[in-house]
Structure formats: C-alpha cells, structure tokens
C-alpha cells in the first residue's frame, strides 16, 4: 500500500513537471549547514520590516519612478516559488496551475498593482536558491513567496516584508510510530528540502539530515522508506500528511518560522508597498479568507500576525 501511494505521489510530481521544472540537481550527502548562517549578524529583529509610506496608490496608477511603476509597465508581477509545497504553492494536477496560500498572497499584491489578480506570473525556482532570484537581470523575479522564513542570515541577502504567517518546525513519521521528536531519531535519516532552515535544524538535533529538492520529493523518499521521517514547518507537514493516510505529524513545534515575502534589497519602495498590501489584507479580512481557504486543517483562523517595523 505504501508503495502504491509512493507511485501516486511520484506521478503527481511528474505531472507537475510539465512547465518550468526546477533545475537544482539532487544534492549528494553530506548535507551542510547553510553557509550564510555562519555570517549571520549576531542579532537582528528578523520580523521587523520597512514601514509603508502613506496610503496605497490606486491600482493601475503606480507612482512614477517607483519599482511598482516598472512592474505595472511590464504587465505582470513575477512571483518565484515552488510547485510542490502542498497548501502553499503546488501544482493542481487537474488544471496544471500552481495554487495555494502563497500564490494567493501574490494575487493580493498583483491586484494592488494592476487591479487584476491574474496578472501574476509564476516562476518555479530551485528551493535552495530562494535568496538568489534577484541577481540575474535577465531572468529575475519581483518577489519570492515560498514558505520562506525571515531570518537574520537571509536578511543579509534580501529584504523581507512583515510576517504574513507564523509556523514552527515539527516532525512527520509513520502512523503508529512511538517517535515524537528528533531526539528519538538519532542515527536515522530525516528528510528536508535543500536550502531550508529545517535541514540545518535536523542536522543540529542528531539525525542524519537528507536533502531533497522539495517537499514532494521528501514525501516520496518517506513513502519508499528511504528516510524514517520528514521534519519541517507544521504548515507544510499538514499538507504532506493530508496526502498520506499512513503518516502523522507528531511532537510540539520546536522553532519559530515567521514567513515573509522576499524582495531585492534594491527596491525598498516595493517592500514598503507590499507591507501596505499586507496591512490592508489584515484589516479587510482577505488574509483571514485566504487562511480559511487553504489552512483550515490547522484549526480555526488565528489573528493575522501583527506587523512590526524597524
Ligand atoms: N520555512 C522554512 C524555510 O524557509 C522551511 C520551509 C521551506 O523551506 O519551504 O527554510
């Protein structure tokens, strides 16, 4: 039965690869702690972003000279994300479209710029390179929304919006297993996506961290018994558990993962604009509607995370 489900998951993954497949190679072990963490500033308030300047401009009338005006002129907002993070950004096998909470956050921003949420272009990016998407002028994205934790190491490379969702790392194991924490898995293999904060946390806790290109690939590795468990944000694990009746999420969250939109350091005006859109979504109920639409399996919608500014 496990093998059959693995086959289903593999088929879904392959079906999801018809457009713009991620280009990262499957990393070989051993997994390294992300290099950028070594040069992380000792202290920063990773949740604090730039304060919006006044009210949002009317859609379709972005201020001259702003980065938003450039986006408006280009006719679409380019969002970098993954295609296999269930509930957040995953390809619907029936329509071929990438859908989820993160995509809907992108739609709110597209709507604020154009008055049309469909002027959003999804670019599937390698999970391990989420902070590198703004470098290449020819093939750049305008923002990355991808279950991405704002932390001090990443702030050294990109700017972040205010927090749009709070998550925490937990563990997914086979149903009936007595394991309820990474401590119980010393010497065992535990999967996480390349370049994720989760991978480094697994390595720190003792198990052997196994990197895969995304969460879908971790689920396949788990279903094929290549790894004993998957450990990442509770939000993502809930989506994986929904796809596998033989999996369960266990233990308490043991990290804080504040999700934020990543934006190039060259466009602080755009970060302020995105923060104004997030403020509006907290006030007008669209944040809550999006939570209910995608994340109800986590329980009733909490209050949206309050904005913090630096
Ligand atoms: N939120 C964590 C991160 O940004 C783990 C989830 C993920 O990588 O998708 O690294």
> Which residue has the least CA distance to atom 4 on ligand 1?
148
Query: For residue 303, is it within any domain?
Result: no
Q: Which of 267, 220, 266 is nearest to 243 (CA)?
A: 220
Query: For residue 157, is it within any domain?
Result: yes
Kindly state the percentage of the chain with pLDDT values over 70.
85
Q: Do 156 and 175 share a structural domain?
A: no
Which band of pLDDT confidence, cut at 50, 70 and 90, is reported for residue 137? low
Beta carbon of 147 within 6 Å of any ligand 1 atom:
yes
Q: How far is the CA of 233 from the centre of ligand 1 (A)?
A: 7
> Which residue has the least CA distance to atom 5 on ligand 1?
196
Query: For residue 201, is it within any domain?
Result: yes
The backbone region for 106, taken as left when phi is positive above 0, alpha when psi lies in -120 to 50, beta otherwise, is alpha
pLDDT of residue 23 exceeding 50, the answer is no
Q: Do 237 and 142 share a structural domain?
A: no
CA distance 30 to 136: 29
- The DSSP code for 296 is G
Query: For residue 197, is it within any domain?
Result: yes
Beta carbon of 90 within 6 Å of any ligand 1 atom:
no
Q: Do 23 and 103 share a structural domain?
A: yes
Q: Do 149 and 61 share a structural domain?
A: yes
Out of 250, 266, 282, a domain closes at: 250
Q: How far is the CA of 303 from the centre of ligand 1 (A)?
A: 22
Query: For residue 268, is it within any domain?
Result: yes
90-121 pLDDT, tens per residue?
A: 999 999 999 999 999 999 999 999 999 999 99
Which pLDDT does position 6 carry in this prediction? Answer: 43
Which pLDDT does position 267 carry in this prediction? Answer: 97
Which pLDDT does position 19 carry in this prediction? Answer: 35
Residue 277 near residue 270, CB atoms below 8 Å: no
Beta carbon of 198 within 6 Å of any ligand 1 atom:
yes
Average pLDDT over residues 184-205: 96
Q: Do 287 and 140 share a structural domain?
A: yes
Domains in the chain, number: 2
Q: Do 150 and 62 share a structural domain?
A: yes
CA distance 58 to 300: 33
Q: Do 98 and 227 share a structural domain?
A: no
Instruction: Render 121-189 in DSSP notation, one character per residue.
Output: EEEE--GGGGGGTTS-GGG--SEE-SSPBP-HHHHTTSEE-S-SEEE-EEEEEETT----SGGGGTTSE
Beta carbon of 46 within 6 Å of any ligand 1 atom:
no
Which pLDDT does position 42 carry in this prediction? Answer: 63
Q: Do 146 and 75 share a structural domain?
A: yes
Which band of pLDDT confidence, cut at 50, 70 and 90, is reported for residue 22? very low
H or E element: which one contains 70?
A: helix 67-74
Give how far Cα 194 sits from Cα of 21, 217, 301, Å.
16, 11, 30
Average pLDDT over residues 240-255: 97
Q: Do 19 and 99 share a structural domain?
A: yes
Beta partners for 209? 190
Q: Do 150 and 276 share a structural domain?
A: yes
Task: Tell me the average pLDDT of the chain.
Answer: 88
Domain residues for the domain of 126 are 15-31+55-165+258-298
Q: How far is the CA of 147 from the centre of ligand 1 (A)?
A: 5
64-89 pLDDT, tens per residue?
A: 999 999 999 999 999 999 999 999 99
Beta carbon of 196 within 6 Å of any ligand 1 atom:
yes
Query: For residue 142, is it within any domain?
Result: yes
Q: Do 152 and 23 share a structural domain?
A: yes
Which band of pLDDT confidence, cut at 50, 70 and 90, is reported for residue 138? low
Q: Which of 168, 172, 155, 190 is nearest to 243 (CA)?
A: 172
- The DSSP code for 253 is -
Decide which of 108 and 19 is more confident.
108
Query: For residue 7, is it within any domain?
Result: no
Query: For residue 47, is it within any domain?
Result: no
Q: What are phi and psi of 187, to 5 degrees?
A: 80, -10
3-state SS, residue 23: coil
44-58 pLDDT, tens per residue?
A: 999 999 999 989 999
Beta carbon of 232 within 6 Å of any ligand 1 atom:
yes
Q: How far is the CA of 120 from the centre of ligand 1 (A)?
A: 22
The CATH number assigned to the domain holding 86 equals: 3.40.190.10
Residue 5 structure tokens: 């489900």
Out of 233, 250, 267, a domain closes at: 250
| The ligand 1 atom nearest the CA atom of 127 | 8
Average pLDDT over residues 206-227: 97
Q: Do 265 and 121 share a structural domain?
A: yes
């Amino acid at each position: 039965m496990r093998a059959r489900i693995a086959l289903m998951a593999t088929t879904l993954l392959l079906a999801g690869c018809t457009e713009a497949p991620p280009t990262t190679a499957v990393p070989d072990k051993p997994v390294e702690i992300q290099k950028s963490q070594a040069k992380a500033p000792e202290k920063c308030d990773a949740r604090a972003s730039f304060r919006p300047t006044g009210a949002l401009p009317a859609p379709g009338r972005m201020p001259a000279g702003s980065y938003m005006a450039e986006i408006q002129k280009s006719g679409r907002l380019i969002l970098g994300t993954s295609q296999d993070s269930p509930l957040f950004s995953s390809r619907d096998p029936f329509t071929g479209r990438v859908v989820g909470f993160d995509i809907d956050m992108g739609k709110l921003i597209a709507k604020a710029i154009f008055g049309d949420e469909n002027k959003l272009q999804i670019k599937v990016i390698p999970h391990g390179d989420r902070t590198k998407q703004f470098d290449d002028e020819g093939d750049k994205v305008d923002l990355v929304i991808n279950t991405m934790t704002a932390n001090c190491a990443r702030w050294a490379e990109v700017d972040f919006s205010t927090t749009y969702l709070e998550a925490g790392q937990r563990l997914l194991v086979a149903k009936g297993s007595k394991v309820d924490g990474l401590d119980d898995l010393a010497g065992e293999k535990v999967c996480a996506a390349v370049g994720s904060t989760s991978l480094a946390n697994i390595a720190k806790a003792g198990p052997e961290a196994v990197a895969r290109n995304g969460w879908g690939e971790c689920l396949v590795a788990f279903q094929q018994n290549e790894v004993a468990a998957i450990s990442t944000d509770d939000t993502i694990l809930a989506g994986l558990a929904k796809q596998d009746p033989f999996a369960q999420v266990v233990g308490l969250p043991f990290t804080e993962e504040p999700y934020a939109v990543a934006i190039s350091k060259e466009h602080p005006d755009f970060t302020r604009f995105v923060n104004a859109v997030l403020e509006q979504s907290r006030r007008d109920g669209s944040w809550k509607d999006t939570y209910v639409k995608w994340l109800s399996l986590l329980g009733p919608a909490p209050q949206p995370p309050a904005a913090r500014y630096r």
